[in-house]
Amino acid sequence: MSKNPVLIARVTRCSTRSFVGASRLPEPDVPTFGSFCKASAQRGQSEVIGLIYDIRIEDDEFTRQIAIASDPPREQLADNRFSRLIPIEISCLSVGYRIENEFTQRIPPQPPMTLDEVYALTDDEVREFTAGLDFVPLVFAAPGLAADDLVTAALQHAARVRAKNERRGFLIEAGRVCAKYLSVDLPRLERLVRSLTP
């Protein structure tokens, strides 16, 4: 949970539907699946809001050598875990944008540019963005994603940044929104609602 913007990556490739950023954050700061982020676009006139759907830590032959060595020195383990330039790749689904402090939950007009900074949304920003839930169908419509898990993680994240007495109401409303889109697949809806239940 963040109060201030935390730089989590820089954009390496992008489209209007999604963007991928690379970072080398130490472990505790690696953002989590289903959390929200933002990257500037249109030369700073707008911000694209992303939902993290994949986090990938690359390896290389050097790391594999250390991994298979018998009793590798602790210093080498620490080096490979904390210091080496092994990028963490963060893939984000574009679920909205912000222009002049107003959030819109649609595909953004333009993607961010290469090497633009990606920040985690602050708690206040997550609360404000998830005041509406029009981003949910964008997630269901995205091809090839674990959409139900991603929606669940995003909604639970959004619930956690709210006051305790608001969480239950928020999740009930979120369940209603999901029901609108999954009413033709009741077993799936049931699974999703069960996983949203606090």
Partner 1 sequence: MSLEIQRLISQIQDMAQVAARQVAELEHLIPKAEGALHAHAGEDPQELIEKISRAGQSWRGAIPTSEAIDAIFSTPPIPSKFTALGADGSQILPDRHSLALYYLINTGSIVVQHGSGDAPLTASHPRIFYEEQDLYPTGDALIKSEWIVALRDVAEMAELARLADGDQGAPSLALLDNGLLLWIVGQEGVIPSTQIDRLKTEYQRSMQRIRTSGSALAGFVDRPRSANVIRMLHLAGLPKEEISDEALRAHPFQRLNDGMLFSRLLSAGQRSARFGIISPINQDFSLAGHGIQFFYLNSGYRDQIARIEIPDWVGENDALMQLVHAGIVEECRTTGMPYVLARAHELAVVSQSDRQTLERALQAFLMEQGLQVEISQKERAKRWLGLGRRSTRRSHLL
What is the helix (H) or strand (E) element at residue 147, kind and residue range? Answer: helix 147-160
> What radius of gyration, in Å, describes the C-alpha atoms of the chain?
18
Give 91 or 104: the residue with its C-beta nearer to partner 1. Answer: 91
Q: Which tokens go with 139? A: 């997630």
Give 85 or 163: the residue with its C-beta nearer to partner 1. Answer: 85
Tell me how far the alpha carbon of residue 194 is from its chain's centroid: 22
Q: Which tokens go with 123? A: 């708690």
CB of 81 to partner 1, least distance (A): 8
Give 141 or 186: the residue with its C-beta nearer to partner 1. Answer: 141
Looking up tokens 């999740």 gives 171
How many helices (H) and strands (E) would you count in the chain? 7, 7
CB of 61 to partner 1, least distance (A): 10
Give 81 or 168: the residue with its C-beta nearer to partner 1. Answer: 81
Give 74 or 164: the residue with its C-beta nearer to partner 1. Answer: 74
CB of 57 to partner 1, least distance (A): 12
CB of 142 to partner 1, least distance (A): 5
Which 3 state secondary structure label does DSSP give 92? strand
What is the helix (H) or strand (E) element at residue 57, kind and residue range? Answer: strand 46-57
Residues contributing to the site for partner 1 (CB under 8 A): 13-15, 17-20, 54, 56, 62, 65-66, 69, 72-76, 78-79, 81-85, 89, 91, 93, 142-145
How far apart CA 73 and CA 62 sit, in angstroms, is 14
CB of 169 to partner 1, least distance (A): 32
